[in-house]
Every structure is written in structure tokens, then in C-alpha cells.
Amino acid sequence: MTHAYFDHNATTPVDERVLEAMLPHLRAGYGNASSRHELGTSARRAVDGAREQVAALVNVQPSQVIFVSGGTEANNLFIKGAAGYLKPTQVAVSAIEHPCIAKPAQELARQGWKLRKLAVSRKGEIDLADAEQALKEPTGIVSVMLANNETGVIQDVAAVAAPGATA
């Protein structure tokens, strides 16, 4: 039976090159990278090597690369981490954000941030005029989902990010 999988925004098969690189670690190099025994130090070298490879690909320092288990953890880490370094102002999120964005944003609102939900059209597209209006206020964090994993709608995040470009 042939099937088509259309939810690659949520989960996608592992690239063959990644699988090939990971197999030795999944089969025999399963040590805790925080441990000092031989399996642990071998795992630490592998993690550090992967961190260096990713850093080189995106032109950052290896210390700037943080590995997480998935999108929810990454989003929570960013929102909560960024909020910890910023003065509470406005957090602006689209009205259709995934709960891993919406819930931390609601938590920030309980901590003194102003939560602003950006309007979307009936087609699920961000209302750029509403976004521009919202961003006239001091805003510390903005989140607009690029590709909706349920509807497939692609948002114009570049227009939201460019000051004055949404008019």
C-alpha cells in the first residue's frame, strides 16, 4: 500500500546521513556524556564534536549551540531564557501559536509582561497590520509560527520582523 505523509512540520524521518552517523553511538557508545568513565568520556567527545559541526554550519561558537530533545523544549528554553534577561515589556504571539509557545507566554503575563495575541485571518494568516500596530509598543519577545503543522499555512515572518514593512 502506498501512503503519503503530510505532517513533516511536526515529525519527519531521520536523514540517512544522520542515522549512519548516530548508529555507532546507539549501538555501543551509549554512555552518559556527563560521566567520567570511558563510555561517558567517549559520549562527551561525540557530543562536543557534533556541537562543533553544527556551530560551523551556522557560523557561531560551539558554546552557543544547545541540543534539546525537540521543539517544545527548544521553545520553552528560548522564551523563558530570553525573558530572564529582559525587562518585562510586551510578549507578542500569534493567536494560533502552538501551546509550547502560548503557555510560556501566558506564564510571562502572570509575571508582569503584557501578553499581546496577534490577530490572524480566517485563512490562518497573520494580520500584518495588527502585528505592526502591536509592535509599536516596546516588545521583548515576538513569536509567529513559520509553518503551521496542522494547516500548512506559511506565515510572512520576514514582514513581521522588518520594522515598518508590514504597512
Q: Looking at the DSSP assignment, which residues form a beta bridge with residue 144?
A: none
Q: What is the pLDDT of residue 165?
A: 52
Do 82 and 130 fall into the same domain?
Answer: yes
| Same domain, residue pair 150 and 97 | yes
Residues 80 and 154 occupy one common structural domain = yes
pLDDT for 167 equals 46
Q: Is residue 10 domain-resident?
A: no
In tens, the pLDDT along 8-37 reads: 766 788 999 999 999 998 888 788 999 999
Residues 30 and 100 in one domain: no
| pTM of the shown model | 0.76
Determine the pLDDT at residue 3: 79
Asked if the structure places residue 37 within a domain, the reply is yes
Closest CA to 95 of 153, 167, 166: 153
Q: Are 106 and 131 contained in the same domain?
A: yes
